[in-house]
Amino acid sequence: MLERAEALGITTAFQRAEMMAACPIGAGQSGTCCKNCYMGPCRITKEGQVGVCGATMQTISARNMARAIAAGSAAHSDHGRDLAFTLLATAEGKAQGYEIRDVAKLWNVAKKYGVQTQGRSKEDVAKELALKGISMFGQQQGETIYIQHAPEKRQKIWKQVGVVPRGVDREVVDVLHRTHMGDDQDPEHILLGAVRCALADGWGGSMLASDFSDILFGTPSPNVSQVNLGVLKSDEVNILVHGHEPTLSEMIVAACQDPAMQEYARSKGAKGVNLAGICCTSNEILIRQGIPSAGNFLNQELALITGAVDAMVVDVQCIMQALPEVASHFHTKIITTSPKVKITGALHVEFDEHKALDQARELVKMAIDNYPNRGETMIPEQQSDLVPGFSHEYINYMLGGTFRASFRPLNDGIMSGRIRGVVADVGCNNPRTTQDATHNYLVRELLKNDVLVVETGCGALASAKMGYLLGDAAMEYAGPGLREICEAVGIPPVLHAGSCVDNTRILTVLTQMAAEGGLGDDISDIPAVGLAPEWMSEKALAIGAYCAASGAYVIFGTTSPIASDDVVQKLMTEDWEAKYGGKMEFVMEPEEILRKSLEHIDKKRAALKLPAWEPTRHGKSGDWRMEELFKLPVEARAEALYGTPIPA
């Protein structure tokens, strides 16, 4: 696609990253440029230098980090707020096309929020729940509702340190205030505010987003789908949805499935309507509805360069401003939909949940009407199958079925050393490093080391493209112990848990693992690590901070926003580890990320007095049978097993 882009005179993020050298003192590099007032900007290039107001390198570095975390928390949590309003409108019967699809989840979440369910209609319960959810944003005192669902020990730590978030909006405002010129100028204290804000996101706005999305659109469970640019079709109308929100995209799914729309597409000479996604909007409809994904963050421009996209409908976050320019070389329509997002050169159809289904139909019709304008196309053949949809509910269920749903087998697997530990590999792509390469390298190496991998966001799509989200990956890459568990349970060794806001599902899994017993009594005891090796967004920093404050060791790759400042580095590692049991580190070398992850897992195993991991101790059961099976081509395996071929 890059060659085609060059031939057509189109630039992409890959070239722009080369043309635009990163500012050596800016936020993404050393983080020591302060723009917080207009006596500056002040650029600190060496220790001892201070800004016009006297601000030190440490203060500037910590302030920049805190502001990024606040912006990231705001973005995630605001997405949650919008879902709460959609749930309210749905409960009141005012949201066209929406319904409460997952009543069991509604009941469970209502219980968490202390909303009575006995003898009440689901609409009634949903309305009270939505209002309680909305009030969590503007809450001024107390603690966000989800805090009390963290392990007890964790809650005590947060109380002791003084980082229990009050309300979501309050914590974001607090960070913006304290980082204004002339306010908080103690790096440790600034980061305290940042952590409280991140917790308001992780154990607040983001967690609400996952919960309320499940209520409205269904709790994810495994399905089979496809990923990569090859999901685009040369003879069908291609619509891409891109961004983060499931609200409008779910209605577009419904509109595309409408036989009348398919018929309309045929009247325009297409064989049908093909819907696919990019980034986390893609993840949302992939994990629930099995809608194929055209790929992750750095695929957004490449998808347009196929010339085969009739409309790209975008909502919020991670949408490159370059899209309308790339689209202008083709017939492709870029359509913004969020009341918060307009892009010069794009069409705007403002989303209104009261008439969402009508709007979705209008958008699909626009794409179909655009199909006859399509010029020459070039669609790569590459696509891979994947099995996404591992919500925490499903992970619990899959380990024991309806009657014995439990984290026991997972804990036992870790305790016996079949599974060495768990790694969450999440986060973005960044054109400053080869797309997907670090994600893929780390996942492969972790699997070889018997580490179970859970993924979300663009990291999950990076693995999906390589086929790691299939059971076969267990055979190909996983160490013998991990393979034994994956094959016995019937799961891939890499579990796709959803979008960026769904990192909170991982917090829930870790909490339940701690509650199950045998792995300590807090998240920080579990042999687990969080990775964001190709991160680029402020949201990633918010996720990293709430995971670290929840007790996890979190490693970021590619670039460090605190590179030149030892003091802030020490605060976020040694100091945070002493306070929270978790820490956040920036490590540039992929090999080093791997080494540190495994070292941490082994350290936690030793602290729990678990047997040291041994690569060859496990995995002998039934292996000869599996090996025989995997020598056969995929199509022949079902026949060898069951005596019947897989229907095409």
Check binding of 463 to ligand XCC (CB under 6 A): no
φ, ψ for residue 498, nearest 5 deg: 130, -150
Q: Tokens in use for 427?
A: 């986060």
Check binding of 539 to ligand XCC (CB under 6 A): yes
User: Could you say which of ligand SF4, ligand XCC, none residue 280 binds, taking C-beta under 5 to 8 angstroms by partner kind?
Assistant: ligand XCC
Task: Give the integer Cα–Cα distance in Å for 172 and 168.
Answer: 7
Task: Give the integer Cα–Cα distance in Å for 291 and 231.
Answer: 10
User: For residues 307-336, which are near ligand XCC according to CB under 6 A?
Assistant: 318
Segments in 389-502 forming alpha helices (H): 392-398, 401-404, 408-416, 437-448, 457-465, 472-476, 480-489
> Residue 211: what residue type?
D
Task: Give the integer Cα–Cα distance in Å for 470 and 230.
Answer: 18
Check binding of 280 to ligand XCC (CB under 6 A): yes
Decide whether 316 or 482 has the Cβ nearer to ligand XCC.
316
Check binding of 533 to ligand XCC (CB under 6 A): no
Check binding of 26 to ligand SF4 (CB under 6 A): no
Task: Give the integer Cα–Cα distance in Å for 579 and 361.
Answer: 52
**Rounded to the nearest whole angstrom, what is the least distance from the CB of residue 76 to ligand XCC in the complex?**
9
User: Could you say which of ligand SF4, ligand XCC, none residue 39 binds, taking C-beta under 5 to 8 angstroms by partner kind?
Assistant: ligand SF4
User: Could you say which of ligand SF4, ligand XCC, none residue 181 binds, taking C-beta under 5 to 8 angstroms by partner kind?
Assistant: ligand SF4
Please report, for residues 67, 142, 166, 170, 639, the alpha-carbon distance to residue 177 in angstroms, rounded to integers and kept in the order given. Answer: 10, 20, 16, 10, 65
Decide whether 191 or 240 has the Cβ nearer to ligand SF4.
191
> Residue 35: what residue type?
K
**DSSP E strand boundaries for 246-383:** 273-278, 293-295, 311-314, 333-336, 347-348
Single residue of 17, 131, 176, 181 touching ligand SF4 by CB under 6 A: 181
**Rounded to the nearest whole angstrom, what is the least distance from the CB of residue 63 to ligand SF4 in the complex?**
8
# chain residues binding ligand SF4, by CB under 6 A: 14
Check binding of 34 to ligand SF4 (CB under 6 A): yes
Burial class (CB in 10 A: 0-12, 13-18, 19+), 109: buried
Check binding of 287 to ligand XCC (CB under 6 A): no
Task: Give the integer Cα–Cα distance in Å for 494 and 428.
Answer: 17
Task: Give the integer Cα–Cα distance in Å for 231 and 87.
Answer: 32
H or E segment at 198? helix 187-200
**Rounded to the nearest whole angstrom, what is the least distance from the CB of residue 44 to ligand SF4 in the complex?**
8
**Rounded to the nearest whole angstrom, what is the least distance from the CB of residue 43 to ligand SF4 in the complex?**
9
User: For residues 202-241, which are near ligand SF4 according to CB under 6 A?
Assistant: none
Check binding of 297 to ligand XCC (CB under 6 A): yes
Check binding of 457 to ligand XCC (CB under 6 A): yes
H or E segment at 81? helix 57-91
**Rounded to the nearest whole angstrom, what is the least distance from the CB of residue 192 to ligand SF4 in the complex?**
20
Decide whether 33 or 443 has the Cβ nearer to ligand SF4.
33
Check binding of 41 to ligand SF4 (CB under 6 A): yes
Name residues whose C-beta falls within 8 Å of residue 14's C-beta, 6 or more positions apart in sequence.
2, 298, 431, 435
**Rounded to the nearest whole angstrom, what is the least distance from the CB of residue 343 to ligand XCC in the complex?**
16
Closest CA to 359 of 251, 264, 274, 273: 251
Burial class (CB in 10 A: 0-12, 13-18, 19+), 188: middle
Residue showing tokens 């007032």: 37
User: Could you say which of ligand XCC, ligand SF4, none residue 428 binds, taking C-beta under 5 to 8 angstroms by partner kind?
Assistant: ligand XCC
# chain residues binding ligand XCC, by CB under 6 A: 14
User: Could you say which of ligand XCC, ligand SF4, none residue 126 binds, taking C-beta under 5 to 8 angstroms by partner kind?
Assistant: none
Check binding of 37 to ligand SF4 (CB under 6 A): yes
Single residue of 164, 232, 316, 428 touching ligand XCC by CB under 6 A: 428
Decide whether 42 or 209 has the Cβ nearer to ligand SF4.
42
> Could you list the residues that contact ligand XCC (CB under 6 A)?
244, 279-280, 296-297, 318, 427-428, 457-458, 499-500, 537, 539
> Could you list the residues that contact ligand SF4 (CB under 6 A)?
34-37, 39-42, 51-53, 55, 60, 181
